[in-house]
Structure 1
Amino acid sequence: MAAPDDSTRNDPAGRTRVRDAALDLFGRHGVNRVTVRAIAAAAGVSPGLVVHHFGSMAALRRECDAYVVSMVRGTDDPGRGEAPDGVMSGDATGLAAMLEVATPVRRYLARAFLDGTPEAAALFDEIVEVTTAWLTDGEREGWARPTSNPRARGAIYVSWLLAPLAFSDHLERVLGIEDLYETDATVEHARVALEMFTHGVFADERALGAWDTVAKERKNP
């Protein structure tokens, strides 16, 4: 067995390596089932270095949450550099890089929300806030359609995107996918979601009209 490499004690890259290992293990097994020793082994460092960088598992989880939000925002991350926004820019290379980096993030999100902890609730709220602002910007820039309820749109959009993570076992069975979180599987099934968001599902407004009629009748019985 190779000896742990603690040469990154004062190197930000070492902190990133530990965080990435924790992100992957938290996503696969859940925060409460992962030990400092397991994270250290996955990162190739000593348990003492994990404690040196983060102090506690709670602090390490907060770092993972912050990284996930940075991925959603598409902002600079000290360990990865800038997360590319390949979807709206039309940059296929940037999108491919983002999908590769986001594979452990998808697992982490699925596990976090299934855990149902206060930390997961705060993370969900933050992602909704970011997404609501992003879609509102899209209205101004012309790539998103207007809505009468921006916050509800943001929350439902996030819920819709995260639903496959919560139902991964069922989707893998129905779609014949071995691992829904892997990049190739994401590229295949998420394309359908993007098509639905871009072009819609219904060809006319019958369903919307029926819904509005019911809503009016309930307000004015």
Structure 2
Amino acid sequence: MVNMYSPEDRTAKAIIRDTAVELFGEHGVDAVPLRAVAQRCELSQPLIIKHYGSREGLVRAADEHVLGLLGNALEAAANAKGSGVVSALGDPVVTRYVLRLLTSSGERASAAYARLHDFSRATVRRLHEEGHVAADADIDELATVLLAHDLSVLFLRDRIAETTGTDPLSPTGLTSWTATVARLYSGKAVTAVADSVATRSQPPSSRPTM
């Protein structure tokens, strides 16, 4: 089983981290000095340094926290636990942070995506071992596709809600979204696509001819 991330209680250290997540998501890491974090959470800069050592240490802690929450959501989604997804991603602060992090350039973005992909791959491998994934499935490719799907819902959440009238990550929206995706992946929603994929996967000698 994938190890779940457990955020610490609301200590001063956690308050500083959560405030940093909020500000970094709003303005970007480079635009937020420690002074701004201290002012927002009404604590001193020396206390921030005491807990995190440096600004870079605070950034690493913020990344770790948000990626841990997102990892929890991926695990919940894989286990069809809708409430887990909602609780992990219900806060738009997390969405803003992840969006900025993964769409930026540099080592932080690459490392963050690599970690999420590793988590997704571990989840798919576990599902494969439990018999929930086809024996001939490419684990790495499946993990990549599923991660891309989950992130697309996260990043396009507001636009999807505007179009459908329902937040896709709300309990009601998630139930409907999951059902539609299940029909799509099973080939029941768009049969022409399923037939086309099945035909392409057949060896040339067994494909139907005109």
TM-score, normalising length: structure 2: 0.72
* Residue 11 of structure 2: aligned partner: 13
Distance 2:153 2:80 in 1: 24
Check whether the contact 2:13–2:51 (CA below 8 A) recurs between aligned residues: yes
* Residue 199 of structure 1: aligned partner: 183
- SS of 2:169's partner is helix
Distance 1:169 1:94 in 2: 19
* Residue 95 of structure 2: aligned partner: 106
Shift of 1:97: 3.8
Shift of 1:50: 1.6
Shift of 1:30: 1.3
Distance 1:175 1:118, change over 3 A: farther
Distance 1:195 1:98, change over 3 A: same
* Residue 186 of structure 1: aligned partner: 169
Matched, 1:35 2:33: yes
CA deviations on 1:45-99 (whole Å, 9 max, x unpaired) are: 112222222232222111122223322444xxxxxxxx9x655667676555434
Distance 1:175 1:56, change over 3 A: farther
Structure 2 stretches of 5 or more lacking a match? 1-8, 206-210
The amino acid across from 1:49 in the alignment is L
The amino acid across from 1:207 in the alignment is S
Counterparts of residues 64-79 of structure 1 (less than 5 Å): 64-74=62-72
Shift of 1:137: 0.7
Distance 1:96 1:166 in 2: 14
* Residue 3 of structure 2: aligned partner: none
Distance 1:147 1:99, change over 3 A: farther
Distance 2:53 2:41 in 1: 16
Distance 1:86 1:169, change over 3 A: closer
Distance 2:10 2:61 in 1: 13
- SS of 1:186's partner is coil
Counterparts of residues 42-81 of structure 1 (less than 5 Å): 42-74=40-72
Matched, 1:153 2:137: no
The amino acid across from 2:121 in the alignment is T
Give the count of matched residue pairs: 191
CA deviations on 1:111-153 (whole Å, 9 max, x unpaired) are: 1112223101111011101111112111223445555210111
Counterparts of residues 158-169 of structure 1 (less than 5 Å): 158-167=147-156
TM-score, normalising length: structure 1: 0.68
CA deviations on 1:172-196 (whole Å, 9 max, x unpaired) are: 654467xxxxxx6621554444224
* Residue 137 of structure 1: aligned partner: 126
Shift of 1:19: 0.6
* Residue 20 of structure 2: aligned partner: 22
* Residue 122 of structure 1: aligned partner: 111
RMSD of equivalent CA atoms:
3.5
Check whether the contact 1:40–1:50 (CA below 8 A) recurs between aligned residues: yes
